[in-house]
Amino acid sequence: MKLSVIIVNYNVKFFLEQALLSVKKAIQNISAEIIVVDNKSIDGSVEMLQQKFPEVILIANEKNTGFSVANNQGIRIAKGEYILLLNPDTLVEEDTFEKCIEYMDAHEKAGAMGVKMIDGNGNFLPESKRGLPTPSTAFFKMIGLSSLFPKSKLFGRYHLGFLDENEIHTVDVLAGAFMLLRRKALDIAGLLDEDFFMYGEDIDLSYRIQKAGFDNIYFPKTRIIHYKGESTKKSSVNYVFVFYNAMIIFARKHFKHQHANTFSILIKIAIWFRALLSLIKRFADTYLLPILDIGILLSGMYLLTGYWEHKVKELNYPQEFYSIVIPIYVLIWITTIYWSGGFDKPIKPYKVIRGIAWGTIFILVVYALLPETMRFSRALILLGSVWASVLTLSLRYFLSLLFPKLVSFDRNMQKRTIIVGEKDVNRILDILHQSGQEFQYIGFFTPTIQDKIPYDHNYLGSMDRLADVAEIYHPNEIIFSAKDVSAQSIMDYMSLLRNSGIEIKIAPPESLYIIGSNDINSQGDIYLINMNSLFSKANRRNKRIFDFISSGLLLLSAPISIWMMNNKSGFIKNIFFVMSGSFTWIGYNNNQKVKLNKKYVLFPYDGIILNEAIDANTRQRINFLYTRNYNISNDLKLLYRNFRKLGRKAEN
């Protein structure tokens, strides 16, 4: 056997499917096998593999063993002369493997090979070729000199920016996202070091291959797309610790004791510095806007009240109005802005206004129920709501000018979409319609000139005119059909359009999703057929609001409702745990694989007659429908239908 392709997967089912479809095309003329090692994914990856790719050799681990251990599992059973370590969030060209193997066959000293990698928008990924992370190289990277002077032979050694990205080079380090290994070189150098859980193992293996007398080749004559960041959120504190600790392991293993100690000290300083920056960024992303809103709303209301009190009405409000009532008004507005999605990124002004309107209505309703002595001014509430709208939107506007990466407005509420395909265009349109995505369909291009195509006013021409026509129609999204367009052509146009600001997405054949990545570190955009609704930020928030309010009402009614419960003590316990956010009333369970990361009391299939007899497939289907069509009314019905079970022990 010529080639064994090994893919380690962890919770990236949709990317994995796309990667496998491209790999199957690329091995058509090669004697090859595909091995997937799944590290206890909870997103249905194993089920997808069993249903759609029965020919793939699957190793389903019972725990997340890490990247090195999982790859070694695949290597030990691999039969190929060459072994390819491939990330699941990649897409290869149809002739990638043939070109790589042809070069390796002709150059026996080549022990490992990496290729040119581009991100989901066609931008070159500099980690395609790297230098050895010596103390000086790592230091220049940590302090930012490598980014400031990427082409410098002194400062730019980490990513070897001084080497032409379009020429073949012998380099020190290859990326684990695509590492083609000669079996002979691997036998001498040894398997991946399992001390590395994730990150650093590719540096270590690259270095050992060199020490074994082989070369690491950067081969840009073929490309892959790498949706970098899909498996790990690189802004997380955990990523900082794991990545830099991997560097420490490498230094202690390969550098002299003195150099290793120096390197470790530098790395530890970098860890704490980067971790601090990560915490600050996370805090700013989550809490900065609400804190600033509270500040400007409080100060604005105090100024407005003072003006209203002394200049307009000549009143004298009690001190309690300033110290208690105004802060309560502000707290209500902040809460309803949050419930409305006014703090979601990117900013949608209507959600901010809607939240303030909800808060104002709530305040006015409560105001009307208060005794006369506690009604200070209805007009001031209304003026305050207008003032709050002006202040909050103005704040977001100025922050978007000063810190566009932190705060930005959603200026493209509706996508202007072009599709590139032929036979698959209608299917892609169906996915877009059924996903709930707002878009304006401009038209479609075909891969080649089609003189015989039936008249269709949406037909824009052949794909060779795509770049020119894009300037005329100004789309902000182009979707390529992987069924009709080759991966090579897709990558050509991605590179051509990479500076246009147009989002590039790919629709794999016979799948219910469209996949892409707008940013090098983003999680990407996945359009599903109404399948992502429960896990959207808005519905997560709605579910939390439902849990909190329903728990409050159940607590108020507890003196009566507790007598209806099968488990009375469990009922009270569940109320408080749901209110705190540790539990949720209704959870999504897929063959005992938890999706909501919290305990749950009820299942979507609870209350169905004889639900104990429902087989696993039916339960999974009910869970799927609950997730796809989530709305609060369904939770309310399930809560009512299973009222006596609310004291049941929550499950993981």
Residues 557, 547: Cα–Cα separation, whole Å: 15
**Confidence band, pLDDT 50/70/90 cuts, at residue 199:** low
- The separation between CA 365 and the C-alpha centre of its own chain, rounded to angstroms, equals 40
List every span in the chain annotated with CATH 3.90.550.10: 3-129+165-232
Report the pLDDT value the prediction gives residue 529, as an integer from 0 to 100. 45
DSSP 8-state secondary structure symbol assigned to residue 497:
T
- 400 Cβ partners below 8 Å, 6+ apart? 347, 407, 408, 409
* DSSP output for 583-646: EEEE--EETTEESSSSEEEE-TTTTSTTGGG--HHHHHHHHHHHHHT--HHHHHHHHHHTGGGT
594 pLDDT above the threshold of 50: no
What band does 70 get if pLDDT is binned at 50, 70 and 90? very high
Q: How many residues does the chain have?
A: 652
Q: What end-to-end distance do the CA atoms of the chain give, in Å?
A: 44
Pick 108 or 41 by higher pLDDT.
108
**For residues 92 and 26, what is the distance between their CA atoms, to the nearest angstrom?**
7
DSSP state for residue 649 in the 8-state scheme = P
Q: Give the pLDDT confidence of 532-576 residue by residue, as tens digits.
A: 456 666 777 888 888 888 998 999 898 988 898 989 889 999 999
Residues 6 or more apart from 268 whose CB is under 8 A from it?
A: 244, 248
Q: What is the mean pLDDT of residues 5-32?
A: 93
- Matching residue, tokens 């002077």: 149
- DSSP helix/strand/coil, 409: strand
- Mean pLDDT (the chain, rounded): 82
Strands (E), 39-175: 57-60, 82-86, 90-92, 110-118, 169-171
Residue type, 105: D
Reply yes or no on whether the pLDDT at 107 is more than 90: yes
Report the pLDDT value the prediction gives residue 626, as an integer from 0 to 100: 73
Maximum Cα–Cα distance for the chain, whole Å?
A: 93
The residues, ordered by sequence, that sit 6+ positions from 637 with a Cβ below 8 Å of its Cβ are: none
Contact 388, 305 (CB under 8 A): no
**pLDDT given at position 93:** 96
179: DSSP letter: E
Tokens standing for 468? 């020119």
H or E segment to which residue 557 belongs: none
Using alpha carbons, list the distances in angstroms from residue 552 to 127, 548, 555, 566, 598: 52, 6, 5, 20, 19
pLDDT at position 519 is 40
What lies within 8 Å, CB to CB, of 229 at 6+ separation is: 517, 520, 521, 522, 523, 524
pLDDT beyond 60 at 496: yes
Stretch 72-76: mean pLDDT: 95
Is the C-alpha dihedral spanning 499, 502, 503, 505 positive or negative? negative
- If pLDDT is split at 50, 70 and 90, which confidence band does 531 have? very low
Strand partners, 113: 180, 217
Please give the average per-residue pLDDT across 502-513, as a whole number: 85
Segment 346-369 shows an average pLDDT of: 91
Please list, in sequence order, all residues whose beta carbon lies within 8 angstroms of the beta carbon of residue 265, skipping any fewer than 6 positions away.
none
Are the CB atoms for 586 and 546 separated by under 8 Å?
no
Question: Between the CA of residue 547 and those of 66, 88, 579, 639, what are the distances in Å?
Answer: 35, 36, 7, 10
Asked if residue 339 lies in contact with residue 355, where contact means CB atoms within 8 angstroms, the answer is yes
Judged by DSSP in three states, 125 sits in: coil
User: For residue 520, what is the DSSP state?
Assistant: T
Q: What integer pLDDT is reported at residue 95 of this predicted model?
A: 95
pLDDT at residue number 522: 40
Q: Report the pLDDT averaged over residues 447-476.
A: 76
> Could you give the percent of the chain with pLDDT greater than 70?
80
More confident residue, 322 or 242: 322
Query: Burial of 608 by CB count in 10 Å (0-12 exposed, 13-18 middle, 19+ buried)?
Result: middle
Q: What is the mean pLDDT of residues 175-204?
A: 85
Distance from the Cα of residue 279 to its chain's centroid = 19
pLDDT digits (tens, 9 = 90+) for 134-177: 767 767 776 778 888 888 888 888 888 899 999 999 999 998 89
Q: What's residue 240's pLDDT?
A: 59
* Tally of CA atoms within 13 A in the half-sphere of 402 that contains its CB: 6
pLDDT score of 619: 66
Q: Rounded distance, CA 195 to CA 517, Å?
A: 31
What 3-state class would DSSP assign to 235? coil
What architecture is the 415-528 domain classified under in CATH? Answer: 3-Layer(aba) Sandwich (3.40)
Q: Among 3.40.50.10490, 3.90.550.10, 2.30.30.90, 2.30.29.30, name the CATH number for the domain at 3-129+165-232.
A: 3.90.550.10
DSSP-derived secondary structure for 435-486: HT--EEEEEEEESS--SSSPP-TTEEEEGGGHHHHHHHH--SEEEEETTTS-
Is there a cis peptide before residue 346, judged by omega within 30 degrees of 0?
Answer: yes
Name every residue whose Cβ is closer than 8 Å to that of residue 389 and which is 6 or more positions away in sequence.
352, 353, 356
The pTM (predicted TM-score) of the whole model is 0.71
The mean per-residue pLDDT over the stretch 84-113 comes to 96
pLDDT > 90 in the chain, percent: 33
Q: What is the pLDDT of residue 592?
A: 38
**Torsion sign, CA atoms 52, 58, 61, 62:** positive
CA distance 92 to 7: 13
Where, residue-wise, is CATH 3.40.50.720 in the chain?
415-528
Residue 528 reports pLDDT greater than 70? no
Dihedral (CA of 195, 199, 200, 203) sign: positive
Tell me, what's the pLDDT at 590? 47
The separation between CA 427 and the C-alpha centre of its own chain, rounded to angstroms, equals: 25
pLDDT for 332 equals 94
